[in-house]
Structure 1
């Protein structure tokens, strides 16, 4: 029975799969192209979905009731602060001003009379001719006249303010929208917005940042320095906005329903390419880059265990498990798995197996540039 057992063991050993690094020493060498894993200064960037917001967005409303005589602007044009927008019929308001001026004149005249009567009452009382009651009555009448003047002056001021509201002027500089009310209609405060003005340059872009991404931006728990962050925009069609923005505000609270922090950046908008309410892609990156290992994307291979690359060690192919950290042009940033200087196989990967002998030919380093 002993020879039979030995034969079975031999058969079982022969049936076991050969290990990758037990490749035959006389196996043919595979020609591969390699690129050196470089360490480069890399600015980590994160992408977000943002919305463009005008710094000044004003709804124009009527503040008095009246007949709309004229619309004095062209829809969609750029207007400056103080430009006339609407004109409301002002006849009744001018009459109200005149009426208030007349009431104030009467009050002033009455005040002159009460002042004279008060002086006379005081003089008579001093000569023991008048009475204290007469003096007090004159004093009360004089004080009442002062109060009447104050009321009439306030009425005159109100009438003048209402008269001023018949000329509706632009409160800010910006582009004006379409008018919701045309000439001939009666407008009043309850009418709602007559039109909207939005400022153009610069513009805000606000975007929510999740707590995880916010901690990444903070760079390993350090206090967030907004001056070290820069922002760029991409439109829905993939075009990149020409101007760079600066982050100027991070909200002081976290949205409890979305677990995000609202962040705001300011972008110049000299050509009015950004529109209020527009959706854009926002890329935020630090202006102080950190050194990372960079390799061509073509070197990456994925399986069920994750991502790996082949490197050349002692003339043989070896696997290195890596952790990609984002793209840099046509290259990939490696967060973990490579230290830099390794010969990474980029070409000829089809026939490469772990432990297989290879003939490495350096490829142009331009393949590893962003």
Structure 2
């Protein structure tokens, strides 16, 4: 007896066989593994240089000498011999007081002097004759001698009166006491001028010109400690050069010498007053002022910036601003080892020099970078420590004038036969903003 299987079992086997056949027929080989290329980064070598730290202070210009002009005699102003705001030389005639009264007084004193001299001559002859006569009493001789002495004193009095009258005549002409720049006139001709009272004008000496500035107590103490340690020279021992910047410029175009520091700190402000002297003469070469004529750049009362050096030049390393990253307040840079692998390196940053950051020694006095290291300056967001990258050297865009040369480069410099650098010294100024943070180590910048 034959047994017939149910229909659904046969159908299931058929479906299973068809499914397996389709699966086997549609199977494809696995795709090959694609090797990704290492990220391309831009690298550069740090710059090893000797730099000098600086501090900036606000300051104001002040005249070396400033004089208010007054007349020493009373009289009516006769004439003015300068233009308002003009430059004058010492001895130039500025004002003239009506001299007629004083000239008449001078003539009177001269006549009185002649009168006194005539009387003195007559009494001298009387005295000589009296001494030659035998019948003159002693009392008469004493009287004649007294008259002679009185006449001699009268001559001295007349001479003094004439000298005073002569001085008053000279005082009717007011001359420039120094070379400088005049203000406007405060009195017009015809006005009565009182002696030692009325201010006629003022003149200031502005070449050279003083620059006053205040040093805070912290900077002062820091500088004095450096002087004690031999790391800085006092301005009392050697002239200290300072830089002066003007309101219409970002840099410091003028140079001065510190010639005064006060002997005490202002208790109200906690600052020490200091002063520098700056050459203020410039030569105009345009058609308006005339070629070769001297002029002045600064005027008293101008706001300026003063930069003073703090300490001697010291060795340091500089890296581009964009090479610095931030990891929870810790500054770092990425460098490459000999296998072109990224290495995380902590750094201690100092000041900014023309978009370059100064790398300072750590707590042990050791610099964590050298000019031989290869620092990543572009592409920090695409790398992390331990990753191999493809380095590409950055184009040299650092201004040669921004960084001073090393001693060896100074000797080999073709721009100066004496070995002096043709560029300006490095200027380190306080950093007000931090570097643009890169991604912290251990993850890429785009990862979350």
For the criterion TM > 0.5, the same-fold answer is yes
Task: Name stretches of at least 5 consecutive residues in structure 2 with no aligned partner.
Answer: 1-35, 283-294, 363-367, 403-448
Pairing partner for 2:244 from 223, 233, 236: 233
Pairing partner for 1:143 from 131, 149, 153: 149
What's 2:60 paired with?
Answer: 51
Pairing partner for 1:363 from 382, 393, 397: 393
Partners of 1:36 and 1:296 lie apart in 2 by 9
Pairing partner for 2:353 from 288, 311, 328: 328
Partners of 2:207 and 2:139 lie apart in 1 by 71
Taking structure 1 as reference, are residues 269 and 197 closer, same or farther at Cα in structure 2, changes over 3 Å only?
A: same
Q: Say if 2:281 is the partner of 1:256.
A: no
Q: Say if 2:204 is the partner of 1:198.
A: yes
Worse-superposed segment, 287-296 or 255-264? 287-296
What is the 5 A alignment of 1:212-231? 212-214=218-220, 220-221=226-227, 222=230, 223-224=233-234, 229-231=240-242
Task: Name stretches of at least 5 consecutive residues in structure 1 with no aligned partner.
Answer: 1-26
Partners of 2:224 and 2:44 lie apart in 1 by 33
What is the 5 A alignment of 1:155-304? 155-214=161-220, 220-221=226-227, 222=230, 223-224=233-234, 229-238=240-249, 240=251, 242=253, 244-251=254-261, 253-257=263-267, 258-270=270-282, 271-285=295-309, 289-302=313-326
Alignment RMSD: 3.1
1:319-349 superposed Cα distances (whole Å, 9 cap, x missing partner): 413031x222121222224342333332223
Runs of 4+ in 1 over 6 A off after TM superposition: none
Partners of 1:220 and 1:321 lie apart in 2 by 24
SS at match of 1:323: strand
Q: CA deviation at 1:360?
A: 5.8
Partners of 1:348 and 1:95 lie apart in 2 by 93
Taking structure 1 as reference, are residues 220 and 339 closer, same or farther at Cα in structure 2, changes over 3 Å only?
A: farther
Partners of 1:303 and 1:103 lie apart in 2 by 98
Pairing partner for 1:349 from 352, 355, 380: 380
Q: CA deviation at 1:219?
A: 9.0
1:17-72 superposed Cα distances (whole Å, 9 cap, x missing partner): xxxxxxxxxx9965543322221132433322222223333321111111112222
Pairing partner for 2:139 from 133, 138, 142: 133
TM-score normalized by structure 2? 0.66
Indicate if the aligned counterparts of 1:47 and 1:283 stay in contact, CA closer than 8 A: yes
Partners of 2:262 and 2:326 lie apart in 1 by 41
Indicate if the aligned counterparts of 2:79 and 2:96 stay in contact, CA closer than 8 A: yes
What's 1:5 paired with?
Answer: none
Partners of 1:304 and 1:259 lie apart in 2 by 36
Q: CA deviation at 1:284?
A: 3.3
Worse-superposed segment, 43-52 or 107-116? 43-52
Higher normalized helix content (fraction of residues): 1
Partners of 2:204 and 2:117 lie apart in 1 by 47
Taking structure 1 as reference, are residues 37 and 62 closer, same or farther at Cα in structure 2, changes over 3 Å only?
A: same
For the pair shown, the structure with the greater C-alpha radius of gyration is 2
Taking structure 1 as reference, are residues 30 and 228 closer, same or farther at Cα in structure 2, changes over 3 Å only?
A: farther
